[in-house]
Amino acid sequence: MSHPDVVRKAFGRLVLVPNTLDLGTDHEVDLGEVLPQGVIERAAQLGYWVCENAKTTRALLKRVDQRVPLAQPLQQIQISELPRPPKGGAARGAAGTAPDLKPLLAPALAGHDVGLLSEAGLPAVADPGAALVQAAHAMGIAVEPLAGPSSLLLALAASGLNGQSFAFVGYLPVDASARAARIRELDALSRRQGQTQLAIETPYRNDALLGALVEHLQPATRLSIASGLTLPGCRCETRSVQQWRHAPGQALGGRMPTVFMWLAG
């Protein structure tokens, strides 16, 4: 019988390839400004990909090709999409079970490296690709993360809030009353634990969320926004909620991806 390490070496790897943070904006950054050269070169060599959206993945590979020629024509690269999870929960099949992701990793079992790409930033961080990483570990496929931008960590670093204890809480409820209750709950949790809370929102709802946070957080809570990270005109501001309530020009607009963070006083 073969030793497990020998079998594992015959597999390809699941390579976690970082993406830019300019999706959906009017600014397309130079890849060389946000991705290390080694990452671009690694991406250019991959012939198999798993992603959220094949169209945007092809667009990124075209940008890669402009800096480092792809190892094979784009038309020959195999791009598979992750199952789309329903809003508010993990992806489930018709019988209520998680979908089988093993077919997406078949190339790795055949000895080929497979790239995993998010729509923005690091795959599998606040991203459905985490399920594929879990599947890779269960199948004995090595996982190789590559360095690149993470909007959550860049925002936290720029906030001046507690970077020793923090939690990403995802999207807050859209319903106004449920959102207000959740904001107050997270503010109280932040106060008890001294923990920074991080949230995101669909860009066209940025201003609504900012308004709700300013209204329902306690006046002494420090609220930070980081908008358009790595893009021209990047905006990072931290103020007390009381200061936000009296500050003009709060509008963020509906185009720039934004991270919202707060730490109760």
Q: Is the pLDDT of residue 262 over 80?
A: yes
Q: Where in the sequence of the chain do the CATH 3.40.1010.10 domains occur? A: 4-145
User: Are 21 and 230 a contacting pair, CB within 8 Å?
Assistant: yes
pLDDT band at 85 (very low <50, low <70, confident <90, very high): low
- Give residues with Cβ within 8 angstroms of 134, minimum separation 6: none
For 142-179, the pLDDT digits (tens) are 999 999 999 999 999 999 999 999 999 999 999 999 99
Question: Bridge partners of 11?
Answer: none
Q: Is the pLDDT of residue 8 over 70?
A: no
**220 secondary structure, DSSP code:** T
**Other C-beta atoms lying within 10 Å of the C-beta of residue 145:** 16
For 12-40, the pLDDT digits (tens) are 999 999 999 998 888 888 999 999 999 99
Distance of CA 126 to the CA centre of its chain: 5
Phi, psi (degrees; rounded to nearest 5) at 197: -105, 135
Superfamily of domain 151-263: Tetrapyrrole methylase, C-terminal domain (3.30.950.10)
Q: Where in the sequence of the chain do the CATH 3.30.950.10 domains occur? A: 151-263
Question: Bridge partners of 20?
Answer: none
Q: Give the pLDDT of residue 98.
A: 76
For 98-128, the pLDDT digits (tens) are 789 999 999 999 999 999 999 999 999 988 9
At 200 the three-state DSSP class reads strand
Q: Is the pLDDT of residue 3 over 70?
A: no
Q: Give the pLDDT of residue 198.
A: 98
Two tokens at 133? Answer: 């990483």
Q: Is the pLDDT of residue 89 over 80?
A: no
Q: What is the pTM of this model?
A: 0.86
Q: Is the pLDDT of residue 230 over 50?
A: yes
For 169-224, the pLDDT digits (tens) are 999 999 999 999 999 999 999 999 999 999 999 999 999 999 999 999 999 999 99
Two tokens at 72? Answer: 């094979």
User: Does CATH number 3.40.1010.10 belong to domain 4-145?
Assistant: yes
- Give residues with Cβ within 8 angstroms of 232, minimum separation 6: 27
